[in-house]
Structure 1
Amino acid sequence: MYALLDCNNFFVSCERTLDSTLENQPVVVLSNNDGCVVSRSNEAKALGIPMGAPAFKYKDLFAEHNVKAFSAKFELYNYCSQQVMKMAKSFVLDYEIYSIDELFLDFHGFKYFDLNQYCCQIRKQIKDELKLPVSIGLAPTKTLCKVANHIVKKNTEKYSNGVYIMDTKEKIESALKDLDIGDVWGIGRRTAAKMMDHGIYKAWDLLDKPEMWIRKIMGIQGVRMINELKGIPQLELDSPSAKKSIVVSRSFMKMLTNKEEIAERIETFAIYCAEKLRKQNSCCKVISVFIQTNRFRKELGEYKDGFSIVLPNPSSSSIVLAKYANSIFEAIFKEGFHYKKAGVMVSSFVPDNERLINLFEEDIDSKHIPIMKAIDKLNSKYGKDKIRLGGMSGKNTYGRATLSPEYEEFLKNNILPEANYRFH
Structure 2
Amino acid sequence: MYALLDCNNFFVSCERTLDPDLDGKPVVVLSNNDGCVVSRSNEAKALGVPMGAPAFKYRELFAANDVKVFSAKFELYNFRSQQVMEMAKSFLPDDAYEVYSIDELFLDFHGFKYFDLEEYCNKIRKKIDTELKLPTSIGVAPTKTLCKIANHIVKKNTEQYPDGVYIMDSREKIEEALNDLDIGDVWGIGRKLGAKMVDHGVYKASHLLLKPEMWIRKVMGIQGVRMINELRGIPQLELDKASPKRSIMVSRSFMQMISTKEELAERIETFAIYCAEKLRKQNSCCKVISVFIQTNRFRKELGEYKNGFSIILPNPSSSSIVLAKYANSIFEAIYKHGFQYKRAGVMVSDFVPDNERQISLFEKDIDDKHIPIMKAIDKLNSKYGKDKIRLGGMSGKNTYGRATLSPEYEEFLKNNILPEANYRFQ
* The two structures share one fold, judged by TM-score above 0.5: yes
Q: Is the 8 A contact 1:97 1:423 kept in 2?
A: no
Q: Is the 8 A contact 1:98 1:423 kept in 2?
A: no
Q: CA deviation at 1:258?
A: 0.6
Task: State the AA in 2 paired with 1:20.
Answer: P
Establish whether residue 419 from structure 1 lines up as the match of residue 388 from structure 2: no
Q: Is the 8 A contact 1:279 1:420 kept in 2?
A: no
Long gaps (5+) in structure 1 = none
Match of 1:181 in 2: 183
Q: Is the 8 A contact 2:75 2:418 kept in 1?
A: no
SS at 1:164 equivalent = strand
Task: State the AA in 1 paired with 2:45.
Answer: K
Of stretches 198-207 and 39-48 in structure 1, the one that deviates more from structure 2 is 198-207
Match of 1:15 in 2: 15
Superposed CA offset, 1:25-69 (max 9, x none): 111110000000000010110010000000111111111111111
Task: State the AA in 1 paired with 2:62.
Answer: F
CA distance in 2, matches of 1:418, 1:209: 47
Task: State the AA in 1 paired with 2:106.
Answer: F
Match of 2:72 in 1: 72
Superposed CA offset, 1:193-225 (max 9, x none): 111111111111111111111111111111111
Q: Is the 8 A contact 2:258 2:341 kept in 1?
A: yes
Q: Is the 8 A contact 2:101 2:423 kept in 1?
A: no
Q: Any residues of structure 2 matched to 1:130-149 within 5 Å, and which?
A: 130-149=132-151
Establish whether residue 47 from structure 1 lines up as the match of residue 47 from structure 2: yes
Q: Any residues of structure 2 matched to 1:111-260 within 5 Å, and which?
A: 111-260=113-262
**Would the alpha carbon gap of residues 190 and 127 (structure 1) be closer, same or farther in structure 2, given more than 3 Å must change?**
same
Task: State the AA in 1 paired with 2:9.
Answer: N
Task: State the AA in 2 paired with 1:168.
Answer: S
Q: Is the 8 A contact 2:85 2:105 kept in 1?
A: yes
CA distance in 1, matches of 2:55, 2:421: 31
CA distance in 2, matches of 1:190, 1:247: 27
Match of 2:374 in 1: 372
CA distance in 2, matches of 1:227, 1:282: 38
Superposed CA offset, 1:355-398 (max 9, x none): 11222222111111222122111111111111111111110110
Q: CA RMSD in A?
A: 1.2
Q: CA deviation at 1:404?
A: 2.6
Task: State the AA in 2 paired with 1:328.
Answer: I
Q: CA deviation at 1:334?
A: 0.7
Q: CA deviation at 1:421?
A: 2.4
Q: CA deviation at 1:420?
A: 4.9
Of stretches 363-372 and 146-155 in structure 1, the one that deviates more from structure 2 is 363-372
CA distance in 1, matches of 2:208, 2:323: 51
Q: CA deviation at 1:241?
A: 3.7
CA distance in 1, matches of 2:386, 2:244: 25
Q: CA deviation at 1:284?
A: 0.9
CA distance in 1, matches of 2:408, 2:339: 39
Match of 1:326 in 2: 328
Aligned residues: 423
Task: State the AA in 2 paired with 1:67.
Answer: V
Q: Is the 8 A contact 2:283 2:353 kept in 1?
A: yes
Q: Is the 8 A contact 1:4 1:149 kept in 2?
A: yes
CA distance in 1, matches of 2:122, 2:349: 43
Match of 1:59 in 2: 59
CA distance in 2, matches of 1:340, 1:299: 14
Match of 2:401 in 1: 399
SS at 1:348 equivalent = strand
Match of 1:302 in 2: 304
Superposed CA offset, 1:286-324 (max 9, x none): 111111111111122211111111111111111111111
CA distance in 2, matches of 1:180, 1:406: 43
Of stretches 90-99 and 139-148 in structure 1, the one that deviates more from structure 2 is 90-99
Task: State the AA in 2 paired with 1:418.
Answer: P
CA distance in 1, matches of 2:186, 2:106: 17
CA distance in 2, matches of 1:404, 1:123: 30
SS at 1:240 equivalent = coil
Superposed CA offset, 1:320-349 (max 9, x none): 111111111001101111111110001111
CA distance in 1, matches of 2:408, 2:163: 31
CA distance in 2, matches of 1:401, 1:80: 22
Q: Is the 8 A contact 2:290 2:311 kept in 1?
A: yes
TM-score (norm 2): 0.97
CA distance in 1, matches of 2:372, 2:106: 40
